[in-house]
Each structure stands twice: as C-alpha cells, then as structure tokens.
C-alpha cells in the first residue's frame, strides 16, 4: 500500500518540508500521486530514502547522493557494504575517543595519570613534519615547497584537524564512487578529483593539473601513500590516480 508524505515523514523521522525539498531537487520523487496531486510513495521509494539517509549520515552532499543513486551502474548491495565499512570505521574511532575521555576523567578524579604518549593515541596519526626532511630534499628549491612552508607555518592544531577532516571526506567519497561501480573516467569521479586538486591548491600550494597528475602517480607508486588509500579500500590508490589523470585530460593536460 502506498504511503502519504506525512506517513513517510513519520517513518523516516524527517519533516514533510524535507521530503518536499527532496522531491523538488529530484532526489526522491514519489512514484505516484493522487488525482488531487498529493504525493504517494511505494516500497522502492522507501529503499531509496533509506539510501539517502545512509549517505547523508556519512556527510555526502545531497547533489552527490542524487548522482550516485541515479547512475545506471548503481548497485544497492555494493553501496550498503561500503556504507557499513565507513560506519564501522567511524564507530571504531568514536570508541577510541570515548576511551580516551574516560582515561582523562579517571586521571582528573584522582586515578593513575595518563602517560604523555597515551594522551593522543585516539587522535589523528597525521604528523605534518613526518616527511619534512625528505620533502625538503626533493622539493625544497621549488616555489610549491616554499609556498606550502609559508602557509602551514600559520596552521595550528584546529587547522590541521579541519584539513585532515576535509582530506578524509574526499578519500571516503572516492571509495564510495569505487564501491558504487563508478568508473574513474566518469564525470562524478573526475569532479571529485578536481575537488581534491582544489583542496591542495587552497590549503598548501598552487596545484596545476599537471602537478596534480604527478601527485596521482605518486599515490599509486609510493608504498607509503598507497597504503594510506589501501587501508580504506583495496585498489583505491590506483582508482584515485586514474580519476586524477582523467580530470587532467578533461582540463586539457592529458600528458602522462
């Protein structure tokens, strides 16, 4: 039996206004309407709405969700498996943070003090100085290195946390495209590669498409960078590289 918009809103714990908005932007168009023009939703609409809410919880923009769900290659089972993986990673991180808070509370209330090396275990393993010597040796005389050094000198802990969050979101989005069967040469993957390039351009140094293509090759060939992507999904480093190369070609720089 079909569901009215108010019934759908109650089931999904959404406002009627939100469902109207989803209809207006083509994200969730009801499968039928009454003679009077009222929206009616069926079982397929319920499944699509569940997918929308899963993606939304993972911080995907609504326009990206619409593109993913409307793509002819969309595979619901593959999407669910990918969503489960990303949510498990989020749950694991949340569990580690809760444990760190508990240890800090115990120490504050008279328990055993927390060792310095344990205080930040639950946070990012990102260390902007980790490869500083190598980076300086390879690119120290370049404008890009000097500009990155100038910008990052001003960054504090909050800046690095935001930069990391932005980067992780892009990586998750790449994994979602790959899990959903989107080819790296597809417009959706290339748009994400462009978003990645602009992230580097804004946060670190001017990043041309040619330079971005070189970074993509490094992601796939350097074991340290490859491992970063492979922890999210097997084959992701090559997928990101191919999307970057395709985006560079789209922009008119197709050299390898």
First to last CA, the chain: 56
Q: Residue 47 contacts by C-beta under 8 Å, 6 or more apart in sequence?
A: 76
For position 214, what pLDDT does the model report?
81
| Predicted model pTM | 0.51
Question: Per-residue pLDDT averaged across 97-109, rounded?
Answer: 76
Question: Per-residue pLDDT averaged across 30-39, rounded?
Answer: 93
State yes or no: pLDDT of 135 exceeds 50: no
- The fraction of the chain above a pLDDT of 70, given in percent, is 84
Q: Catalogue all structural domains in the chain, each as residue range(s) with its CATH number.
A: 3-57 (1.10.1660.10), 124-250 (1.10.490.50)
CB 246 within 8 Å of CB 193: yes
Report how far residue 110's alpha carbon sits from residue 188's, in angstroms, rounded to the nearest whole number. 53
Under DSSP, is residue 33 helix (H, G, I), strand (E, B) or coil?
strand
For position 128, what pLDDT does the model report?
44
The order of strands in the sheet holding 3-4 is 3-4, 39-41, 32-33
The chain-wide mean pLDDT, for the chain, equals 81
pLDDT band at 152 (very low <50, low <70, confident <90, very high): confident
- The fraction of the chain above a pLDDT of 90, given in percent, is 34
SS3 helix, strand, coil % of the chain, rounded to 5?
65, 5, 30
């Amino acid at each position: 039996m079909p569901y009215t918009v108010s019934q759908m809103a109650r089931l999904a714990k959404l406002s009627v206004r939100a469902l109207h908005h989803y209809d207006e932007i083509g994200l969730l168009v009801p499968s039928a309407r009454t003679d009077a023009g009222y929206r009616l939703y069926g079982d397929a609409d319920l499944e699509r709405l569940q997918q929308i809410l899963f993606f939304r919880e993972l911080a995907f923009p609504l326009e990206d969700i619409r593109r993913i769900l409307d793509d002819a290659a969309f595979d619901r089972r593959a999407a669910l498996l990918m969503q489960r993986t990303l949510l498990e990673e989020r749950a694991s991180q949340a569990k580690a943070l809760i444990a760190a808070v508990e240890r800090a509370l115990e120490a504050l209330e008279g328990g055993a003090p927390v060792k310095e090396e344990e205080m930040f275990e639950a946070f990012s393993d990102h260390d902007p100085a980790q490869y500083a010597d190598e980076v300086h040796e390879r690119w120290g005389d370049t404008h890009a290195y000097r500009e990155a050094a100038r910008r990052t000198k001003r960054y504090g802990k909050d800046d690095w946390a935001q930069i990391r969050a932005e980067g992780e979101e892009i990586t998750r989005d790449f994994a979602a495209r790959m899990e959903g069967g989107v080819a790296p040469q597809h417009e959706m993957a290339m748009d994400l590669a462009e978003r990645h390039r602009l992230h580097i351009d804004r946060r670190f140094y001017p990043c041309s498409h040619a330079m971005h293509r070189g970074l993509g090759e490094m992601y796939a060939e350097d074991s340290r960078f490859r491992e970063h992507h492979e922890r999210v999904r097997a084959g992701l480093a090559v997928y990101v590289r191919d999307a970057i190369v395709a985006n560079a070609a789209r922009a008119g720089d197709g050299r390898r």
